[in-house]
Amino acid sequence: MQLMQAQKLADVIITVKTAGHGLLFLLNILLNKITYMTLGFIGLGNLGTPIAENLLNKGHALQVYNRTASKADALKAKGAIVCSSIKQLATDCDIVFSIVSDDAALQAITSGPDGIATHLKSGGIHISISTVLPATSNELAGIHQQNGSHYIACPVMGRPEAAKARKLNFLTSGSKATIEIIRPLLQDAGAANVWEFGEAPGAANVAKLCSNFLIVTAIESMAEGINLAQRSGLNAGAWMNMLTQTLFTSPIYVNYSNILLKEVFEPGGFALKLGLKDVNLVLQQATETSSKMPFGQQAKLQLEQCMQQGLAEHDWTAVALALK
């Protein structure tokens, strides 16, 4: 038993030394008390709020920041400390989660004199949940490294209801040792699974963009199929019920077909304007890698049409309304 404990201690010491973290991380891991660390959370939108709430419910000390301060009220009532600035939050925290709307927002909160990278504790970790270009993660990982901290790309697959049900999938890339340190936190944040895509900082972002491309094209194809079935006099609900119990049993087809059939596009679990943002990112990455994506171009046109119809804040399944 003592030999096994010694080996475990040696393994952890090697991991911590490799990651470049201090004694605090070592003690927390050895004692399985990662909750002793102070966590920060930036971005309390539809998805960020239930993820932050999951962390609070697991007993973590949590500091939060949101540009619209009133969005933090519910978390404050549950014990979160509301910070008045990103600088204040980063200075006080060992690990900071962020989930913001786009690349520009992520760069704004991370770099610069008042950003996370400048003020995060030495050896601290920035976990970026946002859907952004891989080039953005590569750049920010370098900035963190220059400041003695760590950046992990950690985009998430799952809607707000999946976060509340603790059925999220986190896609990670960056230092393997650092990912092992944050893995228990991701589980506390609502992870059903944590997937690793290598040490290149932007690799997880590529995986997320490719995944979102498959989702948006699945939504469009289901919307078109349902529209065709209905206009042909077929019971579209019965047809989709057959498909989701046979060929297409995944949550994407089960959940999104239900929304499309019910035409419940408000409130938006994932806003259509953000869907268009993600499709634009996919196409930017396609240009960067000389990849042809004709379906991606068509998805962009459909979403842009919906934006012109005033559907920006609707769920991105409202792309079906462009077929009416």
- Options 58, 71, 76, 208, the catalytic residue: 208
- Of 124, 117, 121, which Cα lies nearest the Cα of 146? 117
Q: Is 208 a catalytic residue?
A: yes
271: number of Cβ within 10 Å? 20
Cα distances (angstroms) measured from residue 26 to each of 14, 36, 38, 107, 284? 10, 12, 15, 30, 41
Residue environment code for 157-181, b if the CB has 16+ CB neighbours within 10 A, otherwise e? bbbbebbbebbbbbbbbbbebbbbb
Q: At what angle do helices 103-110 and 134-146 cross, to 10 degrees?
A: 0
Structure-derived torsion over alpha carbons of residues 261, 307, 70, 119, reported in degrees to the nearest 10? 110
- Of 42, 34, 11, which Cα lies nearest the Cα of 184? 34
Burial of 304 (0-12, 13-18, 19+ CB in 10 A): middle
Place of tokens 């690793």: 196
- Of 30, 97, 21, 108, which Cα lies nearest the Cα of 64? 97
The residues carrying an active-site annotation are 208
